[in-house]
Structure formats: structure tokens, C-alpha cells
Structure 1
């Protein structure tokens, strides 16, 4: 379901989105343990990340924008799971939604578009690591057919404490 107050367009990310995407991500860096980055980024520092997600292939960046204002509401990515060649048909997926756009279906729209874009690509599995607790993310991943395959206990330290990460996988 689209956000209540706006029609949403989902499209591939472009360089012009970089400032907004960086601001969304930096919110999660500063305020949450949902990412294990601990220092905020400048847009120029995030540019290589953006460029590593072209409009084709298995590593994608999908952006949700308000149809009227074009304000970025969130993004979803598929990125390399690990750098070794044998992992080439696996991707790690993630979704980040602007803090004021949560719980309105933006993540669902983004993941729907991402998995549609991955259809036909040489991708065998998608993985998602979800820092705990995060029931909304667990529900979103279950909605798209991910299943829990294990939990790494106290694998990351942020804000002076250790955090677990639950791992989910989806066959593509």
C-alpha cells in the first residue's frame, strides 16, 4: 500500500539522489543500531557506494520518491554478499526508509521493485542481516519469502553495547 499522503514512484537511483540518500542513511548511523556504521558520511564519501549499483545487473539501487515533490522517501539495494568470486550469485539486500515515511508501505514498494528488477538476473539467493530487535524488518522480509537461517550473537558493538544480527535468506 502506498503512503497515505502521496503517490510514490519507485525508480533506479541516480547521482542526483545522493544527498538525500546520504541523509537517510546518516539518520540510521546516528540514531539506531540498524546499521553498524558508527560515523556519518558525506555525499562524496557515499558516491562510490551509489556508483556500485548500476541500472542493470545483480547490484541494484531502487529509490522511492513522492510523485509530486520528488522528495526521496527511501531506498532498497542488492549488493555483493561477499567479495570472493564463488559468492557472485548471492546478494545482500537492505531497505532504508526516511524516518517520517515509515510504516506506510514504502519498504514494501521498494522491495517489490527490487525483486522485480532482479528477476532474470544470475542471482540464486538473497540474504539480509537484521540487527535485533527489529520486528518491522522481520515482517517485511517474511512478506517477501525470506526465512530465518540463524542469528549471530553479539556480533556488533555500537552505542556501548553488543547487538545480535538475525540472518534471513530467500531463493531467487
Structure 2
């Protein structure tokens, strides 16, 4: 398996992986599917912050961007990680996150945030194993597929205070 910078040519595959998660799971609260053009634009707007894992094709994708707007949040980022169903539990997610965490730290960023659906306990366990700490839970913050969903917030400090 290889981790490399995402390129515009990866956008159709990334859209397919991401849209399957949007359609078929409660792991994300959105119902708006990603477009190839939107993903191409995201990759272009986030140089050094978008990667893919590949081995006989793209297995998954990670990216991060500022957690919230405003200068006070300039060193805090939130990430998105999306894997094919077949890639889950095979090490691609860990490899992608290690690249994202190390690069963010190298860029002088201080905190990486994970917003995880409570309907995704595997995602919570995954982030815990990477050293993310549970910092909050927002009950019934979203509704999808006729269900109220909780948001679990986790974070990892990337540098000393």
C-alpha cells in the first residue's frame, strides 16, 4: 500500500467512495452527495492536506481543513477520512491518519478534531487507538434516515501547549 498526495484525477474515485458512505451509512450526517468538480476544487484548495491510500486502486482518502472560521481557530483542523468498505480494518485508515497527523504537526498546527457519528462505534475506537481523546457529545444534533443521531467530538493535540 502506498500513501500519496491526492490529485484531481482521483476525484471520480473519491466521489464514489464518499458518496457510498453518504448513501449507505449513518457515519456522516449529510445527504448531499459529493461532485467530482467539488472534490477537484477541494484538492486544489488544500495543497499538502489531501492524501489517498492505494493498492490496486484507491482504498481511501483523508483531508483536513480549519476547524472553524476566524483567526482564533487558525491552528485547529478537522479531518475527514473515507475508506472503501473492503479497506476498513486493513491498515489503510491508520496509514492515512498517520500521514495527516504528521503533516499537520509539521505545518505547525496544534489540534486535530474528529466529529464522529455515534452510529459509528468503529470510528470512535479507531480514533481512540490513534490517541484522540473524547471531549464531548452532542445528543440528537442531526437527523438522517428517520433517526436522531449524536455527534461525538474527539481531539488530538499535535504540539505541546
1:75-130 CA-partner distances (Å, limit 9, x unpaired): 11121101112111000022110122111111111111111222321211111010
| Structure 2 alignment gaps of length 5 or more | none
Distance 1:108 1:82 in 2: 25
Total equivalences in the alignment: 158
Distance 1:146 1:27 in 2: 26
Distance 2:53 2:13 in 1: 11
Partner SS, residue 106 of structure 2: coil
After TM superposition, the structure 1 stretch with the greater mean CA deviation from structure 2, 97-106 or 146-155, is 97-106
After TM superposition, the structure 1 stretch with the greater mean CA deviation from structure 2, 148-157 or 130-139, is 130-139
2:91 corresponds to: 105
CA contact (8 A) 2:26 2:120 kept: no
2:36 corresponds to: 43
1:61 to 46, 50, 56: 50
Distance 1:139 1:16 in 2: 32
Distance 2:107 2:148 in 1: 36
1:123 corresponds to: 109
Distance 2:37 2:46 in 1: 15
Partner SS, residue 63 of structure 1: strand
2:58 corresponds to: 72
Give me the CA root mean square deviation. 1.3
1:88 corresponds to: 74
2:18 corresponds to: 25
Q: TM-score, normalised by structure 1?
A: 0.87
Question: Whose helix fraction is larger, Structure 1's or Structure 2's?
Answer: 2
1:110-158 CA-partner distances (Å, limit 9, x unpaired): 1111112223212111110100122221122112211001100111111
| Structure 1 alignment gaps of length 5 or more | 1-7
2:131 to 139, 145, 152: 145
Q: Which runs of 4+ in 1 moved over 4 A?
A: none
